[in-house]
Structure 1
Amino acid sequence: MLRRLLSWSFAAAIYSVTGAPVLAGDCQRTRVDLRGSWGETGFSVEIADDEQERAQGLMFRESMPRGAGMLFVYDRPQPAAFWMKNTLIPLDIIFLDQSGQVTSVHENAEPGDLTPIPGGDQVFAVLEINGGLARRYGISAGTQMRHEIFSDSSAVWPC
């Protein structure tokens, strides 16, 4: 865990200092890249790809580096909704389909709010980042994500 946090912090620090993606062009398990008409950005991510990790998410965290996030991955596209129970920081919740295209964005989810935030019926992945960053970078429906989970022939931005 400490190693993961240190590499996460290091990558976030490089990104925030240089403003350029860390190791641009490489697909890495701990990194996502996003692009749209507004340009490109990237985040160092923790992966939540099993039921227990998805249930825990970012609960009880008091802060998160600006260039960091959590990528929730499902086995197949499915209905998904998130809530902010025991979440202490505002988050932007970015829902993606199996091709890696953003289908919807919920900005600045309120810490502690138990209201379900629906992502749709065909959610394959969800990216959580600090609240306000989606608007700052221009991330919206139609934005494309690159990550190794989107590496089949249907990927809009394959590795």
Structure 2
Amino acid sequence: MTPDITHSPRPARLRGRKPTWSLHPGIRSHDGLTRRERAADLARGLLGSWTAATVGAGLVGAGTVLTVRRDAATGMTVVLSGLMVVALSIVLMTSSRLDDTAAEVALYALESDRRAAVAIEELRDEVERLRGDLARLTARVQTSVRPLDEAGEPQP
């Protein structure tokens, strides 16, 4: 009998860790990326963070204060810049979350494929064992059967 294979929502090796594409054999990891790709990942990590969103919110607040107290044009520019930073940060955080989700799905599919391959190999071995048993039984039946005469009685 094959052991029961239970599937968890995540591959076991990812529990408690943020999934990363470097665990997937079909995806280039940090060393395989160009400088520009690594720089883009770094920029997304820095700008797509709560820190950047907080800085953007601070710019909106500062711009509002400048608008009310002094120069409306400069204050509005700062407000719009702050809103742009907040929006950009939210878009980049969403992009990062989607990437994490895609990594989880890809690694789960990879783990499921590995488990299926193990189960298939076990089934293949079981079928081969059953074929051998069937061949032995067939040979045994053929050697133990005596021919019958015309009346259906076994011949001596």
Q: Which TM-score bucket, shorter chain as reference?
A: under 0.3
In terms of fraction of residues, the more helix-rich structure is 2
Which of these two proteins has the greater Rg computed from alpha carbons?
2
